[in-house]
Amino acid sequence: MKKLSLLLFIFIFLTIGVTGCKENSTDNHSGEVPESPEKITLGLQKLITPELIVRYENKYEEYLGENVEIVQFDSGSDVNTALASGSIDIGIMGTSVVATGLSSNMEIEVIWINDIIGSAESLIVKKDAGINDINDMKGKRIAAPFVSTAHFSLQNAIENSDISSSDMELLDMQPADILAAWERGDIDGAYVWYPVLGKLIDDGGVIITSSEEQAQSGAVTADVSVVRTEFAEQYPDIVKKYVKAQMYGLNKFQNELESSAEAIAGAADISVEEAREQINGFVYPSAEEQISERYLGGTAHAGQMSQVLRDAAIFLKEQGNIPMIPEDKVFENAINGKYIEMVLEESDG
């Protein structure tokens, strides 16, 4: 009887213990990822794109939820650093910076094209600097944010001229520093974007060439939305909603240009006239165009954006900014148009 009681006691103890362990495991160690993270962090810049409409109208909160946080950056390099550290989930940066990230084995994906850069990024020089074309920059001090789309376009312009980078003093400066150096008279020119470009124009600066012209010789540049692959795998619906928000901004821009210019002006803290002028410096591909072979492509076919990133990586390697050029598949795998396809399919449905 005692033996039977002892066995019964052991059975009850083990049953309760195992059940308790299972309950605790379910409560605390399920390993399941919640449908939505506690906070969604976006790293954005004040680029003149329909994205500013999304921000100005508080559409991120509507599409992504109240737990969204926006962090403002002055350059794509800073966005890249934040993505690498995991302090932001989705960011907007130029193609040259994306190529830099991929070369350092960052697991990121391009999910949306915010703009194709045209005259909105330009090489501008002081009117009294004695510079009438690229060849006149010999011995001059020219600034640009290194490892940026502007730097990429500047180098392309130099390579297609009769001089080389060693014939001038190229200075690595962020836009705000460029403006200050210009006002002090420390530089003769700069390759930069708005709003600093607009201020240099207002100060009498003369534009020598633009990214629109450089694109015609094959140096295509763009600003794109990039997501950390880990975040996308955990929260694909959040990424889809982000793309949906971008499509809202683009559709409103295409159908209500005047009110869109007002929204962009408000978000960028510029006049409506300045907004209208700067808008003309970009190309904004539609969602349907973005999943064509010309740009991102879709799940069934690859687009040409992977080659744009590879060209940027070649440039960066030549400049000594990256140690090696990744394999082609790295750039191909970093292009992901499936979220655009998903939103378009929902719209058709």
The predicted-structure confidence for 246-302, as pLDDT tens digits, reads as follows 999 999 999 999 999 999 999 999 999 999 999 999 999 999 999 999 999 999 887
Q: What is the pLDDT of residue 70?
A: 97
| Band (24; pLDDT cuts 50, 70, 90) | very low
| Band (140; pLDDT cuts 50, 70, 90) | very high
pTM as predicted: 0.84
- State the SS3 of the chain: CHHHHHHHHHHHHHHHHHHHHHHHHHHHCCCCCCCCCCCEEEEECCCCCCHHHHHHCCHHHHHHCCCEEEEECCCHHHHHHHHHHCCCCEEEEEHHHHHHHHHCCCCEEEEEEEEEECCCEEEEECCCCCCCCHHHHCCCEEEECCCCHHHHHHHHHHHCCCCCHHHCEEEECCHHHHHHHHHHCCCCEEEEECCHHHHHHHCCCEEEEEHHHHHHCCCCCEEEEEEEHHHHHHCHHHHHHHHHHHHHHHHHHHHCHHHHHHHHHHHHCCCHHHHHHHHCCEECCCHHHHCCCCCCECCCCECCHHHHHHHHHHHHHHCCCCCCCCCHHHHHHCECCHHHHHHHHHHHC
